Structure 1
Amino acid sequence: MRAFQLLSQGEPANLIKCDRPNPASDEIRLKIEACGLNFGDLLMIKGTYQERPALPFTLGMEPAGVVDAVGEDVTNLKPGDRVAVYHGHGGLAEYGCFPAANCNLLPDNMTTTVGAGFLVAYGTSHLALEHRARLKAGETLLVLGAAGGIGLTAIEIGKRMGATVIACARGRDKLEIAANAGADHLIDSDTDDLHEVVKSLGGADVVYDPVGGDLFKAALRACNPEARIIPLGFASGQVPQIPANILLVKNIDVIGYYWGGYLKFAPKVLHDSLDTLLEWYAAGELHPHISHTLPLEQANEALELLRSRKSTGKVVVTI
């Protein structure tokens, strides 16, 4: 089979030929049809992600496809089932073996291409806003990086939870996509003063921030008393240093959050969240945005779309 593997840290990954794997007793083997890309894939190539698989390894955090074989202890899945998986790596290949516990059956109305771009983006936003930030109806949610993979899902979920959503993104084209996702107010990070605009709209009760850097600082200053701010990543390349005096004066919570970590210490919380999201999709209440779909042979080009920020929503590689 073919697999898109990282052989050396910091070097581009390459498409290689390797043996088809066999599932362990608690695993399924997936005939992969598509795999969603994430900013974490770029960090894995650099060796700066939270998890560092032993080299060489196959990239790709969220594959989707058809179950091809099951281990002897697997009872919840069977060959022929259509599933999406979150596993951290292994998805950019023709086949992969993954824990059955990490697999999610796809609704009949969800294609594998959509399924491959669904779990991480929607799962991250739902657990962040509902479980960690305790977002309430009537509150104001500020979403930074609002046209990205997780940003658009935060807009959709925030609106569904009854919040007023302020979307911040770079350029009018990206803001138009955020508006289509349901954002009530738009901020162009290239030209607008985020702090002034958010304050003029009444301030933020929850801040969803995958960007960091100067935007984090401006958002923190625009927070209302008892606001909650969630740093999800640092796409700006700058990890903000948080001034404790502002937290003290405004009684602000800064909430640590790593979605993938729930698989290890509270998997039921994560799986219940994904079950809810898949039910919402099946009912027609969520509308994933995939800006680019490229074949496995162009996986490096697909990653470059993320690196150069030329994509919106999700980038999916088809196998």
Structure 2
Amino acid sequence: MSFTSSLIADLGVDAPITQTTFNYFLLALIYGGILLYRRQRPLVAWYWYLILGFVDVQGNYLVNKAFQFSSITSVTLLDCFTIAWAIILTWFFLGTRYSIWQLFGAALCVLGLGLVLLSDAGVAGGGGSRPLLGDILVIAGTVFFAMSNVGEEFFVKKKDRVEVVCMIGIYGLLVSVIQLSILELKSLESVKWSTDIILGLLGYTISGLMFYSLSPFVLKLSGAAMFNLSLLTSDMWAVVIRIFIYQQQVDWLYFLAFAVVAVGLVIYSTTGKDPAPIPALENGSLSVQYQMLDGEDVASRDESSG
């Protein structure tokens, strides 16, 4: 997704919302079809999914917009700032508790990301036309990504995975169309469409479909924090793409930053206790620690518990 998004930006297309709209459309079409086949009623009130779709769209918009100003390596590594926000959100809203060593490992990851900022600030020369602006956009986007990941983790552990992905697609598509009509119509009018641009959009859409389809499994098994830590493997591919496809040099500070982040990942993943699972539905009600979301009727709860 990062490669095709950077490729689209490199081809002169400034339409970060448009490229994700196709992705949300496919999610709504495929997973909506599954729900219609099941004849399944929604298990969660619509406005919770609207919020989830909104924050997901904003995360994608800001990060994809950052490719207009910064390099693929900086964006992919800074995207991991989601880790810090995910830990904070899961701590306060899902009751997940982390060990001191886990927090230390996460702090190392954030320190590594700080080295990327240092590189892009011009100390050692960052890539992109306005790298600091790109970095700021990515960090802002990670706040929304963390909210989306934590919300998705909450729902997939309590409800139905297919429904969650479907509703992200439906409400993500709705928000995207509205936002696109306000922010991107002029940009789309100026685009000189070519085979490369269409292939880039197709590649982004297919990889996005795979990403959104597989993410719920990881979120259910490992949680939002470990999910985002695992995404650090994408940074290795970003280095390969930048060197061999874009023919650009990677600054030495980036390698140092990646090493620091990798050490933090190892510490985090090997020293923590397994987080307590979110309580399952019992007799149509949640445990005392988690309140039932407003708007869920008794029939839906009884149906899900049965």
Give the shorter-chain TM-score range. Answer: under 0.3
TM-score (norm 1): 0.26
Relative contact order: is structure 1 or structure 2 higher (C-alpha 8 Å, sep ≥ 6)? 2
- Between Structure 1 and Structure 2, the one with more helix by share is 2
TM-score (norm 2): 0.27
